[in-house]
Amino acid sequence: MKKSNILIAIILVAVITVGYFLLSNPSRPNSSNSNKPEAPISVMPKGPTGHDLIEQDYKDEAIDYETYLTYRVQYVFGDSSLPDKYFTDEKSFEDDGLFEDLEENYDKLSVKNKEIIEPFLKRPDDPDSFINKLYSEEKEKTAWFIQTAHAAGDRPVAFKGHISTADNLVKVHFPIIVDAEGNETKVNFDVAKEIVKNLDNNGAYDQFKNLLNLEPQPDGPLGGDDKVDIYVVGDIEGKYAKLSKGLTFSGVNIRDRGKNTNFILLRNDLSSDELKTITVHELFHAFQRRFNCKGKKNIWWLEGSATWSEDYIYPQMNSEQEHIINFIPEPEVSLTLKDKKHVYGSYLFPFYLTQKYNDHEVVRKIFYSCDLGMDAIDGVEKAVPDKLKDVWSDFSLWLFNTEPVKYFKDESGFFPDDSSSLGENSDQFTMDFPDPLTIDTADLKPLTSQVIEVYNGLKKGEVKRIDFADLRNFTKNNGGRIKAIIYPKERGEEYIEDWSNREKRSFCLENKKEDILQVNLIVSNPDPKKSIEKTDLVMETHQSCYTINQSDHREASFGLGVSFAESGSSKGSVDVKTWGDMIEEPKKGAKYSYLGKWKIHYDYVEDIGSYAGVGGCTYKHKPSKFSGDLIFDLREAAEETGWGFAAQSENLKFNIPAISVNCGIGGDQSLDLSEGADEVPQQVHGGGKLIELTEDGAKVEFSMSYIFNGSILGKSAKPILVEIKREE
């Protein structure tokens, strides 16, 4: 009986313990976290690598450029002759652009440094390669191996083993160890088999071939045949040997010296998932090398598209998403900058292009543009139907990556929430008072962007309209682009606009859709070469939702008199730009809210043209210009058409250039007609009257105005009506 009780007690304790564990374990299938995606594969270093430390010494002028390149090569392969201070616990993903730097600068190196570097660039099955020598020498005679109890007769023989994919297009090499008795052991054979199995299953070779319409450059006898060669390298563990420092990369693609062929090195201790995606990444590099996309200026595209290829082959694994944190929150970093982390995040650009245009061929088209002598970034316009400035502006909007701009779609169903608004380059402004608010952009390097968040902090009813003005300062004058994400106070009604071709954008707060709570400006520099300096935009308030803003062109004839011109007149044109706002509110109870006091500005250009004058002379006029302000008070007018009001001119300016006169003798002569012209602006207006009044606005006729009337003081043209409109 006691034993039964004890047994029951033990069972109860076990049940309670297991139950507690299941209830408290956050990873159990029915927990709240069960639907969260797994963390992406992580291959990037979390701290400084030897590349970083060597680069810092170069920047500090502690070493010269040749030493900088040589040290980096030694670091990649874990060469213990490199000073110990450059070895850290962190490993690089690849070579951090080293081999592109070497290709560009190899011929400039000294003979001494070439001799040091050369063995590292040879294939592991080459007897003169750095790795082959290490694997082949007797352990007791080299400092590169850690002595073991079995060192007496073990003698590694480098890369005599290999297996190929089912299609016989990729060969994976591995070393074979031969002991003192002649027994062979296949080293890294399981890794080699896994690589082959992965390539057979994913069909990456054929997928890349179909995508790019070509195959990697055949390498002849290198590697034993024309197959793409992958070498599994790294520490040889167990009773054999171990490289003293270890390789510092996960995978790397190296061009054969003096050839257009290449080979791949993969480390032997990668996880199963890492082995899949890194193999694909390096294989895509092998295809890339058939194109003329080379050098630092294209490294962003080479690494970005290779990272994109991981998603292309393994869309469910999300290995590429590790790099998003080094890209989306850093819109101030130029797309084409050679940066060891940013270049991998630039996979988002081909990821965007293939989604935006629903076409994977854009990747191939950009590569083919390199063969036409273009840089990859210039090839974008060859690959898509839009201009680069529009593509970059739209891509910058996508990087906001927050509703209502949640555009990136991943086949896995998951895409991180990183946003360009969360980086150091974002800025915030709040309009707390009706006074104008200056919004300044940051200095923008080529192919960068900035998020500017603008908040409406005004009290309800304090103003009726908010304008974002001087937009052309950034867009037209500097070539920038502006996208706006607009958040009305009424939730769920957000919308997006392109302001790149607007002078200003006005919001009538009486309209629910335009009663803004916040506007996020995505300002971008789409130029791949030029920077945009800090630019001021202006946020203004007004007491009316109505405005005057128009440009008018009229064909005109000008009466000159037969004593001056043979025909008595000249054919020309008139151009008038007019804009302004209501400066004082209407009377209480006014029928329309625009019946207040107004102030408008005009720029008037009059081109009389050329004509035959008396005496056989030809007269050529350069355009005359008038400008000024006009103030008129609609509170004086009745709330119906036909009633007049007074108008007052201010700040009048004029420019009447001299006339060029050619009478056939002595060439062109100048005739100054500006004397007395200052009297013209003084009589350019007179009063005006309302022509139309509706809820949408009104039209105003200035019948005594030289500027707006078509038939006055010898000028004959269709009159210009000044239109009061509700601002949009």
Residue-wise pLDDT tens digits, 361-401: 999 999 999 999 999 999 999 999 999 999 999 999 999 99
CA 258, distance to chain mean position in Å, is: 35
Span 58-62, mean pLDDT?
93
pLDDT band, residue 75 (cuts 50/70/90): very high
Q: Is it the case that residue 154 has pLDDT exceeding 60?
A: no
- Residue 202: which H helix or E strand, with range? helix 189-202
Please name the residues in contact with 59: beta carbons below 8 A apart, sequence gap of 6 or more: none
Hey, how many other C-beta atoms are within 10 angstroms of the C-beta on 183?
Answer: 8
Dihedral sign for Cα atoms in the order 491, 493, 497, 503: negative
Residue 8 is predicted with a pLDDT of 43
Q: Is it the case that residue 169 has pLDDT exceeding 90?
A: yes
Hey, how many other C-beta atoms are within 10 angstroms of the C-beta on 197?
Answer: 14
pLDDT tens-place string over residues 584-617: 888 888 888 899 999 999 999 998 877 776 666 7
Residues 673 and 656: beta-carbon distance below 8 Å:
yes
Rounded to whole angstroms, the Cα distance separating 33 from 634 reads: 66
Residues 132 and 265: beta-carbon distance below 8 Å:
no
What pTM, to 2 d.p., does this model score? 0.82
The closest alpha carbon to 626, from 585, 687, 680, 572, belongs to 680
Write the DSSP assignment of 126-191 as a string of letters: STTSHHHHHHHS-GGG-TTB---TTTTT-EEEEEEEEEE-TTS-EEEEEEEEE-TT--EEESSHHH
Hey, how many other C-beta atoms are within 10 angstroms of the C-beta on 71?
Answer: 23
Fill in the DSSP letter of residue 416.
-
Minimum mean pLDDT range among 224-238, 273-287, 439-453, 639-653: 639-653
pLDDT band, residue 559 (cuts 50/70/90): confident
Residue 35 is predicted with a pLDDT of 39
Rounded to whole angstroms, the Cα distance separating 164 from 638 reads: 93
Residue 140 is predicted with a pLDDT of 40
Residue 728 is predicted with a pLDDT of 66
Kindly report the average pLDDT of the chain as a whole number.
85
Residue 31 is predicted with a pLDDT of 29
Q: Is it the case that residue 683 has pLDDT exceeding 60?
A: no
The closest alpha carbon to 175, from 273, 268, 76, 275, belongs to 268
pLDDT tens-place string over residues 400-410: 999 999 999 99
Q: Is it the case that residue 142 has pLDDT exceeding 50?
A: no
Q: What share of the chain is helix, strand, coil (3-state, %, to 5)?
A: 30, 25, 45
Q: What phi, psi does 129 have (nearest 5°)?
A: -75, 155
Q: Is it the case that residue 511 has pLDDT exceeding 50?
A: yes
Most confident among 252-256, 625-629, 646-650 (mean pLDDT):
252-256
